[in-house]
Structure 1
Amino acid sequence: MKSLIPVILSSLLLTACASYEPSQIGLNPTLGAVSLQTESDTQVLIETIDTREASFVLRITEGDKAPQLIGTTEPMRQQLDKVFRNGMIRAGYVVDPAARNSVQFQLHYLLADVTDTTFSFESQTRLVINVLAKNAQQQFTKSYNANGYLKGPLSPDFATLELDINQLIDKLTTEILNDDELHQFIQR
């Protein structure tokens, strides 16, 4: 009987560990290669806002169960703001809250939809960032989109999903920060 108690406790502990489902994902987008766009120390006001309808970035669906909704450990607005500010500085701009020209980066949509079946998973990620730039006379708006797809055996691990989402964010933010059309407008 005494030897049965440790076996039961061990199996209960393993069952509890196996059913642990994290409630947050640790994203960490990084600044990609940004080319110098201006050497004239153009001043610009940078603002990043989150206009998404929902704050979660990961929705895991497993059969008939209710979807598991997972947010980020750090607000996406703050993470993207850091990337965009550093990117605009690297592009040659002077970030100044009193600048006449402004650029607002709007996180409009970010969601990785994961379907988890018994033997595989499939993840479809969509990212939309809108940019609104203003100078004294005009306004520039543009929407940037990126889609990702990931498929693998068994259940997805969070490290793989984090990497996939981070790479998609890095790709799109680099595209935005190197957009000639945006930089031509800012420098008018």
Structure 2
Amino acid sequence: MKSFLPILLSSLLLTACASYEPTHVGLNPTLGAVNLQTELDFPVKVETIDTREASFVVRFNDPDTTPRLVSTSEPVRQQLDKLFRDGMIRAGYVVDPAASTSVQFQLNYLLADVTDSTFSFESNTRLVINVLAKNAQQQLTKSYNANGYLKGPLSPDFATLELDINQLIDKLTTEILNDEELHQFIQRK
């Protein structure tokens, strides 16, 4: 009887752990290599907004049930805002909320669509960020896109999905922050 109790408790604990499904994805994008664009301490107003229609970033699709939607543990807008501000500073700009030249980064779309079958999974991730730059006379609007694809055995673990999404964000934000056309427009008088 004494040996039965630990076995029972262990099996209950393992069952509880096996049925646990995280409810949030923890993203942690990092700033990639940003080239110096100006040495003139050029002032620029930087703003990041989230224009997505839905706040979730992962959708698990199962033909037999309704999709399971997973959001981030921290707002993506805040994480992107920090990345873009740090990137603009690293590019040589002075971030100034009163500057006449402004750059607005708009998170337009971020979603990892995961299809989970019995023995494998597929994840298609899409990221779209629009940039609206304005100076006293003109404005420039550009759209940047990135797509990711991930395939693996069994079911995806959240760490793998998080890494894939973070790498996609890192790649696209680095591309945006090093876009010569954008920097030429920002520095135009």
**1:144 paired to 2:144:** yes
Q: How many residues align?
A: 188
Q: Which residue of 2 aligns with 1:116?
A: 116
Q: Which residue of 2 aligns with 1:37?
A: 37
Aligned sequence identity (%): 82
For residues 65-86 of structure 1, give each alpha carbon's deviation from its aligned partner in whole angstroms, at most 9, with x where no partner exists.
2222111111000000000000
Q: Which residue of 1 aligns with 2:14?
A: 14
Is the partner of 1:109 in helix, strand or coil? strand
Q: Which residue of 1 aligns with 2:134?
A: 134
Aligned-pair RMSD on alpha carbons? 1.2
When structure 1 is superposed on structure 2, of 2-11 and 51-60 the one drifting more is 2-11
For residues 29-57 of structure 1, give each alpha carbon's deviation from its aligned partner in whole angstroms, at most 9, with x where no partner exists.
10001001111111000000001111111
For residues 93-132 of structure 1, give each alpha carbon's deviation from its aligned partner in whole angstroms, at most 9, with x where no partner exists.
0100100000000000000011111111110000000000
Does the CA contact (< 8 Å) of 1:63 and 1:116 recur in 2? no
Q: Give the letter aligned to residue 92 of structure 2.
A: G
Alpha-carbon shift at residue 180 of structure 1 (Å): 0.7
Unaligned runs of 5+ in 2: none
Tell me, in whole angstroms, the C-alpha distance in 2 between the residues paired with 1:138 and 1:15: 61
Is the partner of 2:60 in helix, strand or coil? strand
For residues 116-157 of structure 1, give each alpha carbon's deviation from its aligned partner in whole angstroms, at most 9, with x where no partner exists.
111111100000000000000111100000000000011111
Q: Which residue of 1 aligns with 2:160?
A: 160
Alpha-carbon shift at residue 9 of structure 1 (Å): 3.3
**1:102 paired to 2:116:** no
Does the CA contact (< 8 Å) of 1:133 and 1:140 recur in 2? yes
Is the partner of 1:110 in helix, strand or coil? strand
Q: Which residue of 2 aligns with 1:179?
A: 179
Q: Give the letter aligned to residue 43 of structure 1.
A: P
Tell me, in whole angstroms, the C-alpha distance in 2 between the residues paired with 1:182 and 1:32: 17
**TM-score, normalised to structure 2's length?**
0.95
Q: Which residue of 1 aligns with 2:64?
A: 64
**TM-score, normalised to structure 1's length?**
0.96
Q: Give the letter aligned to residue 88 of structure 1.
A: M
